[in-house]
């Protein structure tokens, strides 16, 4: 005679429930209103490489050569090793989505100057003010944390969207390098913009004294 197995009742059985998922651990280096800045990681490599190889993006960048995975990884791994170089990812707070990068380059400890560069690679976020906020945030970092006195940038004369972004952030047009760059089969002008610490403070009703 076959012996039947006794099945314990549901209410008497102790179930092992799965542990709740851990909350997302946000790496936040410098915080703004809608965005924050964080270190760039190797896991960002594919997205960054897609952006810098996109013709809609690189036509306004100073570099022209194609970037493969090895070179992009080398760039990321080199962050923090070169003095005077500060490159950070731009992340939208709502959803923690990486949309670009911003950096201060060649920060000089004596002249207290640096050159700014910014890229909003995710085209879904173009024209929505995120570039302006990223520039303002990086300028604040440069003046308040790196003790810079001057931040400059270079831009194609026909990059009207970027020029508007820089002007909103307080940058002043300082000069034009005529036909300094070659892009799309023709020579184009390069504009120089800059912002000084005293002007940045004055915009906020503050004094450097």
> Where does the pLDDT of residue 4 fall: very low under 50, low under 70, confident under 90, or very high at 90 and above?
very low
Band (209; pLDDT cuts 50, 70, 90): low
The DSSP string of 112-142 is TEEEEEEEE--GGGTTSSHHHHHHHHHHHHH
Q: Is the pLDDT of residue 18 over 50?
A: no
Q: Of 129, 128, 99, 102, nearest to 116 (Cα)?
A: 102
What pLDDT is recorded for position 75?
A: 93
Which domain range does residue 33 map to? 26-203
Structural domain includes residue 38: yes
3-state secondary structure of 32: coil
The per-residue pLDDT for range 130-167, each reduced to its tens digit, is: 999 999 999 999 999 999 999 999 999 999 999 999 99
Whether 18 is covered by a domain: the verdict is: no
CATH for 43: 3.40.630.30
Q: Using CA atoms, how far apart are residues 84 and 147, in angstroms rounded to an integer?
A: 12
> In this predicted model, what pLDDT tens digit does every residue of 48-96 receive, in sequence order?
999 999 999 999 998 778 999 999 999 999 998 989 999 999 999 999 9
Label residue 24 by pLDDT band (50, 70, 90). Answer: low
**Separation CA 198–CA 151 (nearest Å):** 12
| Domain assignment present for 194 | yes
What percentage of residues in the chain have a pLDDT greater than 90?
Answer: 80
Over 90: is that where the pLDDT of 19 sits?
Answer: no
- Residue 163 Ramachandran class (φ > 0 left, ψ -120 to 50 alpha, else beta): alpha
pLDDT at 202 over 90: yes
In terms of C-beta density within 10 A (0-12 exposed, 13-18 middle, 19 or more buried), how is residue 53 classed?
Answer: middle
- The verdict on residue 8 lying in a domain is no
**Span 160-184, pLDDT tens digits:** 999 999 999 999 999 999 999 999 8
Question: Is 3 among the domain residues?
Answer: no
pLDDT at residue 186 greater than cutoff 80 = yes
21 in a structural domain:
no
Max Cα–Cα distance, the chain, nearest Å? 100
On whether the CB atoms of residues 92 and 34 are closer than 8 A, the answer is: yes
* Residue 123 included in any domain: yes
Residues 6+ apart with CB under 8 A from 126: 120, 161
| Residue at 9 is within a domain | no
Q: How many domains, in total, are found in the chain?
A: 1
């Amino acid at each position: 005679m076959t012996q039947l197995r006794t099945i314990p009742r549901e209410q008497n059985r102790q179930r092992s429930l799965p542990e709740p998922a851990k909350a997302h651990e946000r790496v936040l280096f410098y915080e703004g209103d809608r965005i924050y800045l964080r270190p760039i990681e190797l896991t960002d490599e594919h997205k960054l490489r897609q952006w810098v190889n996109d013709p809609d993006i690189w036509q306004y960048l100073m570099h022209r050569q194609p970037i493969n995975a090895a070179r992009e990884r080398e760039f990321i791994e080199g962050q923090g090793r070169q003095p005077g170089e500060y490159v950070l990812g731009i992340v939208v707070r709502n959803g923690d989505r990486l949309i670009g990068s911003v950096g201060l380059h060649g920060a000089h400890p004596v002249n207290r100057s640096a050159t700014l560069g910014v890229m909003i690679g995710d085209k879904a976020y173009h024209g929505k003010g995120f570039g302006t906020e990223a520039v303002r945030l990086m300028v604040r970092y440069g003046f308040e944390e790196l003790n810079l006195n001057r931040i400059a940038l270079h831009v194609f004369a026909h990059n009207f969207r970027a020029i508007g972004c820089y002007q909103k952030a307080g940058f002043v047009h300082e000069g034009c390098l005529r036909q300094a760059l070659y892009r799309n089969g023709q020579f184009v002008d390069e504009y120089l913009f800059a912002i000084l610490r005293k002007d940045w403070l004055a915009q906020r009703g503050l004094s450097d004294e």
